[in-house]
Chains A and B, each alone.
Chain A
Amino acid sequence: MGVSALIGVSVQGVNKRFGGIQVLKDVSFTANEGQFVTIVGPSGCGKTTLLRIIDGLEKADSGDVRIDGRPVSGPARECAFVFQADSLMPWRTVWDNCKFGLELRKIDVQANRVRIQELLNLVGLRGFEKHYPRQLSGGMRQRVNLARALVVDPDVLLMDEPFAALDAQTREIMQMELLRIWADQRKTVVFITHQLDEAVYLADRVLVMGRKPGVIADEITVPFERPRELSIKRTEEFGKLVERIWGTIEGVIRETGGI
C-alpha cells in the first residue's frame, strides 16, 4: 500500500438522533482500503448505530458516508455485515447459510460452489457443511457468520462485536483466526468491540468513542508488525496502548455518569 492509499470507508460529519437523544455527533473517520480499523467504546456510545449507518441499515440524519467513494443510500453490495452471535438461519445447514447472501443478491450459486468450499476450508469448517447451527459451538457459528459474509466477496467487512458472546479462550483463538483469514482475503475491516485488548490486537488503527453523544474521542495507530502472535498482548508496549485507551474511556464514563 503506497502513500496515496485508496479510501475504503469514509464517514464525514455523521449525526444521528433517536427521539430526543443525540446518539452520534459529528463523527468522522476514514478507513483505507485493506485497513483494519477497530472502534472501541463503552456501552451506549452508539458504535453499533455507526456501523449500521455505514452498512445502510440505518440512515444518518446528516453527514456523508461513502464506500469506495460512492455515497451509501441503502445496504451496499460492497459491504458485508458480520452480526453478533446467532444470526445464522437455524433452518439452513452451514453450507446453505453460506450461500444466503448470494441467493439474495441473485448471484449464481452453482458457479460459486468452489469459492464457498474454499472459504469454508479457510475458516476451518471443512466437513461441517451439512451441520445445522444448533449442532455447532459458539465459535464455529461465528466462523460460519464470517464465511457467509466473505462469500459475497465484499470490499468492506463490517463486524459488530462478533466475538462478544464467546468465552475468553475461544475469543482469543477467533481473534488469531480472524487475522489469519484477513491476511488471506485483505478486506477493509471496521470492527466494533468493547474489549480493549481485542481492539488493539486486531487493528491497524483504533478509534475510541465517547458517549452521550457518541463522538470520536481518540485515535491510535497500532505499531505492531504483522503477522501478530497472541503473545504480543503481554508486551509492555501493548499494555501501554490499552492503558491509554482505558484512560480515555474511564474519563468518558466519569463525565457521562457511570455505567
Chain B
Amino acid sequence: MDDLKETVEAPGLSRGKPGGTEPTTDVPGQEPGGSQKKVIAVTISVVSVIAGIALWQIIGEYFVGNSLFLATPLQTISGIREMWTSGGLQEDLIVSGQEALYGFLIGSAAGIFIGAIIAKNQAVKRILTPYISGFYATPIIALAPILILWFGLGIWSKVLVVISLVIFPQIINTEAGIRTTDETLRDVARSYGGSTIQTFRKVELWWALPYILAGLRLGIGRALIGVVVGELFGAKAGLGLAIFNAQSEFNMPQLFAGVAIFAVSGIFFTYLLTVLERALTPWASTRA
C-alpha cells in the first residue's frame, strides 16, 4: 500500500476534501498562504546571516584592524583559497569527513541498537545503565588522548572519539522513545494478536522515531566536535589539525577558515537532517 503513503505536504490536501461525507469537520492543518510565510521566514534568516557577516567585516576592518586578533570574513575567504590551492584543504576535508561520517554512522547505529535492547530487556538495562549515565555525564572528550595513544594517529582513533560522543545521547533518546510508547497503542497491537516483535516493529519503533531523529541531530554537532578535538590530540591530517597548525603559526585567516568550514558543515548537515525528518515523519509536520 506504499502508493498510498504520501506526505501531506502538498498544499490543499490538509483541508477537508470535497466529497468527504462529514461536512463540518474541524480539520486542523496548514494555514493557506503557508508557502508565502515560508519565503519570508527564509528571507529573514538569510538577511540575518548577511548582516552578521557584514558586522564581522566592519568590526574586523575598522575597530580591531589587526588580523592577528580577528580575521575578517574577506581574509577568511582568502585563507580558504590559500588552503585549497596548496592542496591541503582537499586532503583535510576527506580525512575529517571520513572521521565524522564513519563515527556518526557507527555511533548512531550502535546507539539505536543498544537503546532498543535496554528498552526491551530489564536485565541488560540494569547492567548497562551505570556505564551509560556515567559516560554521558563525564566529559568523555578527556579520554581522547588515551584513544589516540591506543589506536594511533590514523583516522580510526578519531572515529572512536566521535563514536564515544555520538553513541550515548542516541542510546538515551532511543530508550526513552521506546519506553514512553503509548500503552493503548501497545494494547491495540496485542488485541490484534501482535507478537512482541510485531509490536516492536510496528508500534514502538515508530513511536520512538522522532526521538531517534532528535538523537541524530544532537549527534551531528557532537561528531564535529569529536573530529576537531580528536585531531588536536594527534593526527596526520585533517581540518582540526589544520586549525591547530594555523594557530601555532598565528595564521588567523586559516584558523578562521577551518572554524568557518566546520560551522557551515554543521548548518548544512543539520539542515539535511531536518529534510530527512520531514520525509520520515510526515505525520508530525502537520502539527501546529
The answer to the question of A77 belonging to the interface, with a C-beta cut-off of 8 Å to chain B, is yes
Given contacts A75-B190, A91-B283, A152-B192, contact A126 B206 (CB under 8 A): no
The answer to the question of B34 belonging to the interface, with a C-beta cut-off of 8 Å to chain A, is no
Which residues from 41 to 90 on chain A have a C-beta closer than 8 Å to any C-beta of chain B?
55, 57, 74-75, 77, 79-81, 83-84, 86-87, 89-90
- The smallest C-beta distance from A201 to any residue of chain B, in angstroms, reads 21
| Residues of chain B within 8 A of A103, CB atoms compared | 202
| Residues of chain B within 8 A of A57, CB atoms compared | 187, 190-191
- The smallest C-beta distance from A210 to any residue of chain B, in angstroms, reads 26
Interface SS of chain A: loop
| Residues of chain A within 8 A of B25, CB atoms compared | 136-137, 139-140
Given contacts A129-B4, A137-B22, A137-B26, contact A91 B209 (CB under 8 A): yes
Task: Evaluate contact between A89 and B286: CB separation under 8 angstroms.
Answer: no
CA distance A104 to B18 in the complex (A): 33
- The smallest C-beta distance from A63 to any residue of chain B, in angstroms, reads 20
Task: Evaluate contact between B20 and A127: CB separation under 8 angstroms.
Answer: yes
CA distance A127 to B17 in the complex (A): 7
| Residues of chain A within 8 A of B284, CB atoms compared | 90
Which residues from 165 to 224 on chain B have a C-beta closer than 8 Å to any C-beta of chain A?
184-185, 187-194, 198, 202-203, 206, 209
| Residues of chain B within 8 A of A140, CB atoms compared | 22, 25
Task: Evaluate contact between B8 and A132: CB separation under 8 angstroms.
Answer: yes
Interface size class of B (residues with CB under 8 A): 35 or more
Which residues from 85 to 118 on chain A have a C-beta closer than 8 Å to any C-beta of chain B?
86-87, 89-93, 95-96, 99-101, 103-105, 109
| Residues of chain A within 8 A of B14, CB atoms compared | 135
Interface SS of chain B: loop
| Residues of chain A within 8 A of B203, CB atoms compared | 89
CA distance A57 to B193 in the complex (A): 10
CA distance A152 to B191 in the complex (A): 12
Closest to B193 in A: A75
| Residues of chain A within 8 A of B192, CB atoms compared | 75, 80, 100-101, 104-105, 152
| Residues of chain B within 8 A of A77, CB atoms compared | 193
Which residues from 32 to 62 on chain B have a C-beta closer than 8 Å to any C-beta of chain A?
none
- The smallest C-beta distance from B24 to any residue of chain A, in angstroms, reads 9
- The smallest C-beta distance from B148 to any residue of chain A, in angstroms, reads 43
Task: Evaluate contact between A104 and B194: CB separation under 8 angstroms.
Answer: yes
Task: Evaluate contact between A135 and B184: CB separation under 8 angstroms.
Answer: no
The answer to the question of B6 belonging to the interface, with a C-beta cut-off of 8 Å to chain A, is yes
| Residues of chain A within 8 A of B185, CB atoms compared | 87, 89
Task: Evaluate contact between B281 and A91: CB separation under 8 angstroms.
Answer: yes
What mask results when residues 237 to 271 of chain B are scored 1 for a CB within 8 Å of chain A, else 0?
00000000000000000000000000000000000
CA distance A94 to B197 in the complex (A): 23
The answer to the question of A226 belonging to the interface, with a C-beta cut-off of 8 Å to chain B, is no
| Known A104-B192, A134-B28; 15 more pairs at CB < 8 Å | A83-B191, A87-B187, A90-B283, A91-B281, A96-B5, A100-B188, A104-B202, A124-B22, A127-B19, A129-B4, A130-B6, A132-B283, A133-B283, A134-B287, A152-B192
Q: What are 11 A-to-B residue pairs whose CB atoms are below 8 Å?
A: A74-B193, A81-B187, A87-B184, A89-B206, A100-B192, A125-B20, A131-B8, A131-B27, A132-B286, A133-B283, A136-B27
Which residues of B are in contact with A by a Cβ distance under 8 Å? 1, 4-6, 8, 13-14, 17-22, 25-29, 184-185, 187-194, 198, 202-203, 206, 209, 281-284, 286-287
